[in-house]
Structure 1
């Protein structure tokens, strides 16, 4: 069994590698993402499709057979809000960190938006929806 230190080290190396690759293929560039969302340039979309293909192959090789079962009630509205936020800001929750590391200071606004959104989700969930505790992320 791997030690905690080895797992942490592997996660750090994997995260840094992913960040390097994501930054260098353009996922930190708002104009690249805008061109993807407006279907002006399909290169980024093909990157997504390639990543999904790799995951499918890896799941098959690892014989992952677990099915998700029933869809959580927050998945559809959460996905819609996530997509709208990504299209407006040019970043999912990880991309603004990459943008910030690249010197793009407006990413701070997106990061603040993510934190405020999570806090609002937790407030609305506690007051109105009462879904499970992990449904709001962060």
Structure 2
């Protein structure tokens, strides 16, 4: 029971640190996100590129292998839909929480959209309309 408390505290502190960092660099600011998606400011794209380089390097060092090298048929359309939703709403799943905590209340609509999207994914997967398992609906 004690270890669960330590894990909860570690998750809470890590989440607060991530939220502070994301807010400090402007990732929670809708105007910053809009400038990125309209190619007016490439700073955030470069930040994402740097993050991908870092995680790819860590995966290579740890010899992490994901999948058999083939993409699931839904990855590309899902990524396009995710990007369009992010461009419209100004947030991926974590950003709206940071936006609401920062006082940007329209992000509540984005959070509601995320919840509806996950539920629709589960519903479609349960009816075999999508070839996914329930766990893959969360990302």
Q: Give the Cα–Cα distance (whole angstroms) in 2 for the partners of residues 129 and 45 of structure 1.
A: 31
What secondary structure, in the 3-state scheme, does the structure 2 residue paired with 1:129 have? coil
2:133 maps to 1:132: yes
Q: What stretches of structure 1 move > 6 A for 4+ residues in a row?
A: none
Q: 2:100 aligns to what?
A: 100
Q: 2:66 aligns to what?
A: 67
Question: How far has the Cα of 1:130 moved from its partner?
Answer: 4.5
Q: Give the Cα–Cα distance (whole angstroms) in 2 for the partners of residues 4 and 107 of structure 1.
A: 31
Q: Is the 8 A contact 1:74 1:135 kept in 2?
A: no
Q: 1:32 aligns to what?
A: 32
Q: Give the Cα–Cα distance (whole angstroms) in 1 for the partners of residues 49 and 131 of structure 2.
A: 35
Q: Normalised by the size of structure 1, how large is the TM-score?
A: 0.86
What secondary structure, in the 3-state scheme, does the structure 1 residue paired with 2:20 have? helix
Which is bigger in relative contact order (C-alpha 8 A, separation at least 6)? Answer: 1
Q: How many pairs does the alignment contain?
A: 136
Question: How far has the Cα of 1:117 moved from its partner?
Answer: 1.3
**Residues 34-53 of structure 1: per-residue CA shift (max 9 Å, x gap):** 11111110111111112112
**Residues 1-24 of structure 1: per-residue CA shift (max 9 Å, x gap):** xx4333333222211111110011
Q: Which runs of 5+ in 1 are unaligned?
A: none
Q: Is the 8 A contact 1:28 1:91 kept in 2?
A: yes
Q: 1:113 aligns to what?
A: 113
What secondary structure, in the 3-state scheme, does the structure 1 residue paired with 2:27 have? coil
Q: Which runs of 5+ in 2 are unaligned?
A: none
Q: CA RMSD in A?
A: 2.0
Q: Give the Cα–Cα distance (whole angstroms) in 1 for the partners of residues 6 and 17 of structure 2.
A: 16
Q: Normalised by the size of structure 2, how large is the TM-score?
A: 0.86
Q: Which has the higher mean CA deviation after the structures are superposed, 125-134 or 111-120?
A: 125-134
What secondary structure, in the 3-state scheme, does the structure 1 residue paired with 2:104 have? coil
